[in-house]
Amino acid sequence: MNVLDWFLAPFQYTFMRTAALAGVLVSLTCASLGAYVVLRRMAFIGDALAHTVLPGLVIAYLNRWNMTVGAILAGIATALGIGWLSRRREVREDTAIGILFTGMFALGILLMSSVRSFRDFTHMLFGYIVGVTDAQLRLFALIALVVLVVLILLHKELELTSFDPTHAQVIGLRADRLRDVLLVLMALAVVGAIQAVGVVLTSALLIVPAAAAAMLTRRLVPMMALASAIAIVATLVGLLASYHLDVSSGATIVLTCIVCFLTAWVLRALRERLSRTWPVSGD
């Protein structure tokens, strides 16, 4: 089998084409938001959001409601809950999030274990991107559109509150409200990511491509674009690897992201060594 076949042959199947398209949409959404997640040190919140969605998924499943809608509602409720908790000072924010997220996740597992069939729940935990339906695909496209449009429209405000909340407040911007907006966008992004890589690995799609991009650029917008490109490539390569090796796609997608991160890390180290050996004149 030649290299081109390795890449193209799997896509003669409709389910692979749908999976690839879903992967691209989810990657684009998660990675562009991921830049803020990494820069604002919200990685833990991203992980928590993914886990707290589980009871929403299970409750929707048990009642035969639309599971994606259940996930979105649970995600938004959590996002606003975290926003509310972080404005209060009785408990440290990371402790509060830790309590909320493990509690919700435990509730999800409890509900899951009350049902006999575990097949669908395994997909929730570890992802099942080749099982994406056309309706889900349309929803992921809508989520990607909403997230990107909000990121573009609120770009200068999100950027400013991320690095200088004091100036933002002086000129009349509410940094906490903009944080709530980011949290809701993250909740939306997480719902797609759960389908692709599962609850357990979702935060990888938010964090790893953006962290890799942060190694290579010192500008926000290029960082978002690069993170999206890395995530798309990693998702497609991971999907193909999973097809050829017949292993879990969630695992191969996340591991490919990690390989990208390590590559970026090595590139940065090499670049720093080079600039030390031959410094640019005038610097």
In whole angstroms, how close is the CB of 156 to other proteins at the nearest point? 6
Which whole-number Å values give the CA distances from 98 to 44, 49, 82, 280, in the listed order? 9, 11, 10, 47
In whole angstroms, how close is the CB of 204 to other proteins at the nearest point? 21
In this chain, which stretch among 48-56, 101-109, 114-122, 213-221 interacts with other proteins, using CB under 8 A?
213-221
Please give the Cα distance from 78 to 88 (Å, whole number).
15
264 binds other proteins (CB under 8 A): no
169 binds other proteins (CB under 8 A): yes
How many distinct helices (H) and strands (E) make up the chain? 13, 0
146 binds other proteins (CB under 8 A): no
x/- mask, other proteins, residues 38-67, rule CB under 8 A, reads -x----------------------------
Please give the Cα distance from 163 to 174 (Å, whole number).
14
In this chain, which stretch among 19-27, 123-131, 172-180, 191-199 interacts with other proteins, using CB under 8 A?
172-180
Record the tokens describing residue 235, joined without a space: 């998702």
- 172: which DSSP letter? T
Which whole-number Å values give the CA distances from 91 to 47, 220, 239, in the listed order? 19, 32, 41
In this chain, which stretch among 101-109, 129-137, 193-201, 217-225 interacts with other proteins, using CB under 8 A?
217-225
Per the listing, tokens 């999976």 go with: 19
Q: Tell me which of 157, 181, 225, 241 binds other proteins, using CB under 8 A.
A: 157
Instruction: State which residue, 91 or 110, has the beta carbon closest to other proteins.
Output: 91
Q: Tell me which of 107, 111, 141, 173 binds other proteins, using CB under 8 A.
A: 173
Length of the chain: 283
CB-based contacts of 215, cutoff 8 Å, min separation 6: 261, 264, 265, 267, 268
- 90: which DSSP letter? S
Q: Tell me which of 1, 170, 245, 280 binds other proteins, using CB under 8 A.
A: 170
Residues forming contacts to other proteins in the complex (CB under 8 A) are 39, 89, 153, 156-157, 159-160, 162-164, 166-167, 169-174, 214, 217-220, 223
